[in-house]
A and B are shown apart, each in its own frame.
Chain A
Amino acid sequence: MGLLDKEFSDGNIVITKVEDLFNWARLSSIWQLGFGLACCAIEMMATSASHYDFDRFGVIPRNTPRQADAIIISGTVTLKMAIRIKRLYEQMPDPKYIISMGSCSNCGGPYWEHGYHVLKGVDRVIPVDVYVPGCPPRPEALLEGLLKLQEKIRNESLRTHSV
Protein backbone atom coordinates (compact mmCIF):
# COMPACT_ATOMS: atom_id res chain seq x y z
CA MET A 1 0.00 0.00 0.00
CA GLY A 2 1.14 3.57 -0.12
CA LEU A 3 3.78 3.90 -2.86
CA LEU A 4 2.50 0.95 -4.89
CA ASP A 5 -1.04 2.40 -4.87
CA LYS A 6 0.10 5.51 -6.70
CA GLU A 7 1.79 3.46 -9.47
CA PHE A 8 -1.27 1.79 -10.96
CA SER A 9 -3.94 4.46 -11.34
CA ASP A 10 -6.46 2.12 -12.99
CA GLY A 11 -6.87 -0.45 -10.24
CA ASN A 12 -3.84 -2.87 -10.28
CA ILE A 13 -4.69 -4.86 -13.41
CA VAL A 14 -1.96 -6.16 -15.72
CA ILE A 15 -3.01 -8.04 -18.89
CA THR A 16 -0.73 -10.67 -20.38
CA LYS A 17 -0.79 -14.22 -21.69
CA VAL A 18 -0.41 -17.11 -19.25
CA GLU A 19 2.45 -18.47 -21.34
CA ASP A 20 4.43 -15.23 -21.04
CA LEU A 21 3.89 -15.13 -17.31
CA PHE A 22 5.08 -18.71 -16.79
CA ASN A 23 8.06 -18.27 -19.06
CA TRP A 24 9.08 -15.04 -17.31
CA ALA A 25 8.90 -16.79 -13.94
CA ARG A 26 10.98 -19.74 -15.19
CA LEU A 27 13.76 -17.79 -16.84
CA SER A 28 14.30 -15.44 -13.92
CA SER A 29 15.25 -18.12 -11.44
CA ILE A 30 17.11 -20.98 -13.04
CA TRP A 31 18.56 -23.02 -10.19
CA GLN A 32 21.53 -25.00 -11.39
CA LEU A 33 23.00 -28.28 -10.16
CA GLY A 34 26.61 -27.63 -9.19
CA PHE A 35 28.39 -30.02 -11.51
CA GLY A 36 31.98 -29.06 -12.16
CA LEU A 37 34.16 -31.76 -13.64
CA ALA A 38 37.48 -30.20 -14.73
CA CYS A 39 39.10 -26.87 -15.68
CA CYS A 40 35.86 -25.29 -16.87
CA ALA A 41 34.54 -25.74 -13.33
CA ILE A 42 37.04 -23.15 -12.10
CA GLU A 43 35.73 -20.62 -14.60
CA MET A 44 32.19 -21.47 -13.48
CA MET A 45 33.24 -20.82 -9.86
CA ALA A 46 34.80 -17.53 -10.94
CA THR A 47 31.52 -16.62 -12.64
CA SER A 48 29.65 -17.25 -9.38
CA ALA A 49 32.12 -15.17 -7.38
CA SER A 50 31.77 -11.44 -6.98
CA HIS A 51 33.58 -10.15 -10.09
CA TYR A 52 31.14 -11.58 -12.66
CA ASP A 53 28.16 -12.29 -10.47
CA PHE A 54 25.83 -15.12 -11.45
CA ASP A 55 23.37 -14.42 -8.67
CA ARG A 56 22.05 -11.23 -10.25
CA PHE A 57 20.42 -13.38 -12.96
CA GLY A 58 18.71 -15.50 -10.32
CA VAL A 59 21.02 -18.49 -10.69
CA ILE A 60 21.85 -20.27 -7.41
CA PRO A 61 23.79 -23.52 -7.05
CA ARG A 62 21.79 -26.39 -5.54
CA ASN A 63 23.30 -29.60 -4.26
CA THR A 64 20.82 -32.23 -5.33
CA PRO A 65 19.35 -32.89 -8.78
CA ARG A 66 15.84 -33.20 -7.44
CA GLN A 67 15.70 -29.48 -6.67
CA ALA A 68 17.49 -28.17 -9.75
CA ASP A 69 16.23 -26.78 -13.07
CA ALA A 70 19.43 -26.83 -15.09
CA ILE A 71 22.78 -28.59 -15.25
CA ILE A 72 25.88 -26.85 -16.53
CA ILE A 73 28.17 -29.67 -17.71
CA SER A 74 31.59 -28.08 -17.41
CA GLY A 75 34.62 -30.18 -18.17
CA THR A 76 35.59 -33.42 -19.89
CA VAL A 77 33.09 -36.26 -19.77
CA THR A 78 34.77 -39.66 -19.54
CA LEU A 79 33.14 -43.01 -20.22
CA LYS A 80 33.19 -43.85 -16.51
CA MET A 81 31.37 -40.62 -15.66
CA ALA A 82 28.88 -40.66 -18.55
CA ILE A 83 26.84 -43.46 -16.95
CA ARG A 84 26.45 -41.36 -13.80
CA ILE A 85 25.48 -38.24 -15.76
CA LYS A 86 22.66 -40.15 -17.42
CA ARG A 87 21.39 -41.22 -14.01
CA LEU A 88 21.52 -37.65 -12.66
CA TYR A 89 19.67 -36.35 -15.73
CA GLU A 90 16.89 -38.86 -15.18
CA GLN A 91 16.57 -37.77 -11.55
CA MET A 92 15.85 -34.14 -12.42
CA PRO A 93 12.16 -33.14 -12.61
CA ASP A 94 10.66 -31.46 -15.72
CA PRO A 95 11.14 -28.81 -17.17
CA LYS A 96 14.92 -29.19 -17.29
CA TYR A 97 17.63 -27.55 -19.39
CA ILE A 98 21.24 -28.51 -20.17
CA ILE A 99 24.08 -26.08 -20.91
CA SER A 100 27.22 -27.72 -22.26
CA MET A 101 30.20 -25.53 -21.33
CA GLY A 102 33.61 -25.83 -22.92
CA SER A 103 34.93 -27.69 -25.90
CA CYS A 104 35.44 -31.02 -24.12
CA SER A 105 31.75 -31.50 -23.46
CA ASN A 106 30.71 -30.06 -26.84
CA CYS A 107 32.71 -32.43 -29.01
CA GLY A 108 35.55 -34.06 -27.11
CA GLY A 109 37.88 -31.07 -27.12
CA PRO A 110 41.65 -31.51 -27.50
CA TYR A 111 41.24 -35.22 -26.72
CA TRP A 112 39.11 -36.05 -29.73
CA GLU A 113 41.63 -38.07 -31.67
CA HIS A 114 43.54 -40.30 -29.29
CA GLY A 115 41.53 -40.25 -26.10
CA TYR A 116 40.41 -43.80 -25.46
CA HIS A 117 38.47 -42.96 -22.33
CA VAL A 118 36.89 -39.65 -23.33
CA LEU A 119 33.29 -39.39 -24.54
CA LYS A 120 33.34 -37.22 -27.64
CA GLY A 121 30.58 -34.81 -26.71
CA VAL A 122 28.03 -35.09 -23.93
CA ASP A 123 25.19 -35.04 -26.46
CA ARG A 124 25.87 -38.72 -27.04
CA VAL A 125 24.10 -39.46 -23.74
CA ILE A 126 21.81 -36.51 -22.95
CA PRO A 127 20.09 -33.84 -25.12
CA VAL A 128 21.73 -30.41 -24.93
CA ASP A 129 20.03 -26.99 -25.22
CA VAL A 130 22.90 -24.49 -25.40
CA TYR A 131 26.55 -25.05 -26.37
CA VAL A 132 29.16 -22.58 -25.08
CA PRO A 133 32.47 -22.84 -26.96
CA GLY A 134 35.93 -22.09 -25.56
CA CYS A 135 38.74 -23.83 -23.76
CA PRO A 136 37.95 -22.66 -21.11
CA PRO A 137 35.24 -20.12 -22.04
CA ARG A 138 35.57 -16.72 -20.39
CA PRO A 139 32.98 -15.90 -17.71
CA GLU A 140 31.43 -13.41 -20.10
CA ALA A 141 30.92 -16.21 -22.63
CA LEU A 142 29.12 -18.30 -20.03
CA LEU A 143 26.86 -15.36 -19.19
CA GLU A 144 26.02 -15.03 -22.89
CA GLY A 145 25.17 -18.73 -22.95
CA LEU A 146 22.81 -18.15 -20.05
CA LEU A 147 21.16 -15.24 -21.87
CA LYS A 148 20.64 -17.43 -24.94
CA LEU A 149 19.00 -20.04 -22.71
CA GLN A 150 16.72 -17.35 -21.34
CA GLU A 151 15.80 -16.39 -24.96
CA LYS A 152 14.93 -20.01 -25.64
CA ILE A 153 12.71 -20.24 -22.57
CA ARG A 154 10.97 -16.98 -23.43
CA ASN A 155 9.80 -18.44 -26.73
CA GLU A 156 8.43 -21.67 -25.31
CA SER A 157 4.76 -22.55 -25.50
CA LEU A 158 2.81 -24.37 -22.83
CA ARG A 159 1.77 -27.21 -25.09
CA THR A 160 5.19 -28.43 -26.21
CA HIS A 161 7.69 -28.41 -23.34
CA SER A 162 11.47 -28.66 -23.48
CA VAL A 163 12.33 -32.18 -24.71
Chain B
Amino acid sequence: MKNPEEIFEILKKEFGESILAIDKDVPTEPIIAVDPMYINKVGQFLREHEELKFDSLMVLSGVDDANGTKIKDEDETEVISGGTLSVYYHLHSVYLKHKITLKVSTPRDNPKAESVESIWKTADWHEREAYDMFGIIFLNHPDLRRILMPYDWEAGYPLRKDYKNPEFYQGMKVPY
Protein backbone atom coordinates (compact mmCIF):
# COMPACT_ATOMS: atom_id res chain seq x y z
CA MET B 1 0.00 0.00 0.00
CA LYS B 2 1.45 3.35 -0.93
CA ASN B 3 0.38 6.85 -0.02
CA PRO B 4 -0.07 9.62 -2.64
CA GLU B 5 3.29 11.29 -2.07
CA GLU B 6 5.20 8.07 -2.87
CA ILE B 7 3.10 7.53 -5.98
CA PHE B 8 3.86 11.08 -7.07
CA GLU B 9 7.61 10.42 -6.67
CA ILE B 10 7.41 7.32 -8.88
CA LEU B 11 5.47 9.25 -11.53
CA LYS B 12 7.88 12.20 -11.48
CA LYS B 13 10.82 9.86 -12.05
CA GLU B 14 9.13 8.43 -15.14
CA PHE B 15 7.51 11.47 -16.77
CA GLY B 16 9.24 14.63 -15.59
CA GLU B 17 7.64 17.87 -16.66
CA SER B 18 4.19 16.86 -17.95
CA ILE B 19 3.08 16.12 -14.40
CA LEU B 20 2.28 19.37 -12.65
CA ALA B 21 2.10 19.98 -8.93
CA ILE B 22 0.56 17.90 -6.22
CA ASP B 23 -2.00 19.85 -4.23
CA LYS B 24 -1.76 18.87 -0.58
CA ASP B 25 -3.39 21.50 1.59
CA VAL B 26 -7.11 21.11 0.91
CA PRO B 27 -9.23 18.50 2.73
CA THR B 28 -9.53 15.61 2.39
CA GLU B 29 -7.03 14.06 0.00
CA PRO B 30 -4.10 15.22 -2.18
CA ILE B 31 -4.73 15.64 -5.93
CA ILE B 32 -2.16 15.20 -8.73
CA ALA B 33 -2.63 17.51 -11.71
CA VAL B 34 -1.72 16.14 -15.18
CA ASP B 35 -1.49 17.70 -18.65
CA PRO B 36 -4.60 16.84 -20.73
CA MET B 37 -2.75 15.39 -23.72
CA TYR B 38 -0.64 12.95 -21.66
CA ILE B 39 -3.34 11.45 -19.48
CA ASN B 40 -3.56 8.19 -21.42
CA LYS B 41 0.20 7.54 -21.18
CA VAL B 42 0.11 8.23 -17.44
CA GLY B 43 -2.93 5.97 -17.08
CA GLN B 44 -1.23 3.13 -18.97
CA PHE B 45 1.84 3.40 -16.73
CA LEU B 46 -0.30 3.45 -13.59
CA ARG B 47 -2.11 0.30 -14.62
CA GLU B 48 0.94 -1.72 -15.60
CA HIS B 49 3.67 -0.83 -13.07
CA GLU B 50 4.09 -3.71 -10.57
CA GLU B 51 4.19 -1.55 -7.50
CA LEU B 52 1.11 0.48 -8.48
CA LYS B 53 -1.31 -1.79 -10.43
CA PHE B 54 -4.29 0.58 -10.59
CA ASP B 55 -6.70 -1.74 -12.36
CA SER B 56 -9.99 -0.04 -11.60
CA LEU B 57 -11.29 3.44 -12.38
CA MET B 58 -13.92 4.27 -9.79
CA VAL B 59 -15.36 7.48 -11.23
CA LEU B 60 -14.58 10.14 -13.83
CA SER B 61 -16.33 13.49 -13.35
CA GLY B 62 -16.41 16.72 -15.32
CA VAL B 63 -16.44 19.99 -13.37
CA ASP B 64 -17.07 23.55 -14.47
CA ASP B 65 -14.54 25.58 -12.50
CA ALA B 66 -16.29 28.90 -13.19
CA ASN B 67 -13.02 30.79 -12.77
CA GLY B 68 -13.33 32.95 -15.88
CA THR B 69 -14.75 36.45 -16.30
CA LYS B 70 -18.47 37.06 -16.49
CA ILE B 71 -19.49 39.21 -19.46
CA LYS B 72 -22.97 40.22 -20.60
CA ASP B 73 -24.13 38.92 -23.97
CA GLU B 74 -26.28 40.87 -26.49
CA ASP B 75 -29.57 39.79 -24.93
CA GLU B 76 -28.53 40.60 -21.35
CA THR B 77 -27.64 37.01 -20.37
CA GLU B 78 -24.51 36.41 -18.33
CA VAL B 79 -21.88 34.31 -20.07
CA ILE B 80 -18.57 33.14 -18.63
CA SER B 81 -15.55 33.41 -20.92
CA GLY B 82 -12.08 32.18 -20.22
CA GLY B 83 -11.31 29.87 -17.32
CA THR B 84 -11.16 26.09 -17.34
CA LEU B 85 -13.24 22.93 -17.39
CA SER B 86 -11.69 20.07 -15.42
CA VAL B 87 -11.98 16.31 -15.28
CA TYR B 88 -11.25 14.35 -12.09
CA TYR B 89 -10.22 10.68 -12.14
CA HIS B 90 -10.38 8.49 -9.03
CA LEU B 91 -8.34 5.30 -9.36
CA HIS B 92 -8.06 2.35 -7.05
CA SER B 93 -6.25 -0.99 -6.94
CA VAL B 94 -8.20 -4.12 -6.02
CA TYR B 95 -5.18 -6.22 -5.06
CA LEU B 96 -2.79 -3.63 -3.57
CA LYS B 97 -5.55 -1.61 -1.92
CA HIS B 98 -4.43 1.98 -2.51
CA LYS B 99 -6.19 5.00 -4.07
CA ILE B 100 -5.16 8.13 -5.97
CA THR B 101 -6.92 11.15 -7.51
CA LEU B 102 -5.84 12.79 -10.78
CA LYS B 103 -7.04 16.08 -12.24
CA VAL B 104 -6.90 17.42 -15.79
CA SER B 105 -7.72 21.05 -16.72
CA THR B 106 -8.68 22.17 -20.22
CA PRO B 107 -9.40 25.70 -21.51
CA ARG B 108 -13.09 26.56 -21.70
CA ASP B 109 -13.11 27.73 -25.31
CA ASN B 110 -11.48 24.60 -26.70
CA PRO B 111 -11.91 21.75 -24.21
CA LYS B 112 -10.04 18.67 -25.44
CA ALA B 113 -8.47 15.77 -23.54
CA GLU B 114 -7.20 12.31 -24.40
CA SER B 115 -9.55 9.41 -23.78
CA VAL B 116 -8.65 6.61 -21.37
CA GLU B 117 -11.26 4.21 -22.73
CA SER B 118 -8.65 1.82 -24.11
CA ILE B 119 -7.15 1.40 -20.63
CA TRP B 120 -10.24 1.08 -18.44
CA LYS B 121 -13.47 0.18 -20.20
CA THR B 122 -15.66 1.94 -17.60
CA ALA B 123 -14.53 5.26 -19.00
CA ASP B 124 -16.66 4.71 -22.12
CA TRP B 125 -19.98 5.88 -20.70
CA HIS B 126 -18.45 8.25 -18.13
CA GLU B 127 -16.71 10.21 -20.89
CA ARG B 128 -19.88 10.33 -22.95
CA GLU B 129 -21.64 11.82 -19.95
CA ALA B 130 -18.91 14.45 -19.43
CA TYR B 131 -19.29 15.37 -23.12
CA ASP B 132 -23.08 15.56 -22.83
CA MET B 133 -23.14 17.71 -19.72
CA PHE B 134 -20.09 19.97 -20.26
CA GLY B 135 -18.96 19.74 -23.88
CA ILE B 136 -15.49 18.30 -23.19
CA ILE B 137 -14.25 16.46 -26.29
CA PHE B 138 -12.27 13.25 -25.70
CA LEU B 139 -9.89 12.41 -28.54
CA ASN B 140 -9.76 8.78 -29.76
CA HIS B 141 -13.04 7.83 -28.11
CA PRO B 142 -14.81 5.18 -30.27
CA ASP B 143 -18.34 6.62 -30.09
CA LEU B 144 -18.66 10.11 -28.59
CA ARG B 145 -22.30 11.20 -28.62
CA ARG B 146 -24.94 12.35 -26.15
CA ILE B 147 -26.07 9.81 -23.61
CA LEU B 148 -28.59 11.34 -21.19
CA MET B 149 -30.14 14.22 -23.13
CA PRO B 150 -32.07 13.61 -26.40
CA TYR B 151 -29.85 13.17 -29.45
CA ASP B 152 -31.17 16.34 -31.09
CA TRP B 153 -30.84 18.67 -28.06
CA GLU B 154 -29.41 21.93 -29.37
CA ALA B 155 -29.64 24.25 -26.42
CA GLY B 156 -26.12 23.63 -25.16
CA TYR B 157 -24.47 21.77 -22.32
CA PRO B 158 -26.73 21.65 -19.24
CA LEU B 159 -24.34 21.49 -16.29
CA ARG B 160 -22.26 24.55 -17.20
CA LYS B 161 -22.82 27.42 -14.82
CA ASP B 162 -24.08 29.79 -17.53
CA TYR B 163 -26.64 27.45 -19.12
CA LYS B 164 -30.05 28.84 -20.04
CA ASN B 165 -33.20 26.76 -20.65
CA PRO B 166 -34.90 26.82 -24.05
CA GLU B 167 -38.57 27.86 -24.23
CA PHE B 168 -39.96 24.96 -26.31
CA TYR B 169 -38.72 21.51 -27.32
CA GLN B 170 -40.62 19.76 -30.11
CA GLY B 171 -43.84 21.57 -29.27
CA MET B 172 -43.77 21.07 -25.49
CA LYS B 173 -43.28 24.02 -23.15
CA VAL B 174 -40.19 23.45 -21.02
CA PRO B 175 -40.35 25.93 -18.07
CA TYR B 176 -43.08 25.69 -15.41
Contact = CB atoms under 8 A, between A and B. Distances in A.
Q: Do chains A and B touch in the complex (CB under 8 A)?
A: yes
Given A79-B150, A80-B150, A112 B170 contact: no
Contacts, number: 26
B172 A124 contact: yes
Interface in A111-163: 112-113, 116-117, 119-120, 124-125
B26 interface: no
Given A79-B150, A80-B150, A119 B165 contact: no
B15 interface: no
A117 B149 contact: yes
B158 A79 contact: no
B164 to A, nearest CB: 10
A117 B133 CA distance: 12
A116 B176 contact: no
A82 B176 contact: no
Contact of A79 (B163, B174, B175, B176): B174
Interface string A73-96: 000000110110000000000000
A113 B176 CA distance: 7
Interface of B is mostly: loop
A102 interface: no
A120 B150 contact: no
B173 interface: yes
Chain B: interface residue count, which band? Answer: 10 to 19
A108 interface: yes
B172 A125 contact: yes
Interface string B148-170: 11100000001000010100011
B14 to A, nearest CB: 43
Given A79-B150, A80-B150, A108-B176, A116 B165 contact: yes
B174 A116 contact: yes
Contacts of A117: 148-149, 158
B165 A79 contact: no
A80 B149 CA distance: 8
Interface of B: 148-150, 158, 163, 165, 169-170, 172-176
Interface of A: 79-80, 82-83, 108, 112-113, 116-117, 119-120, 124-125
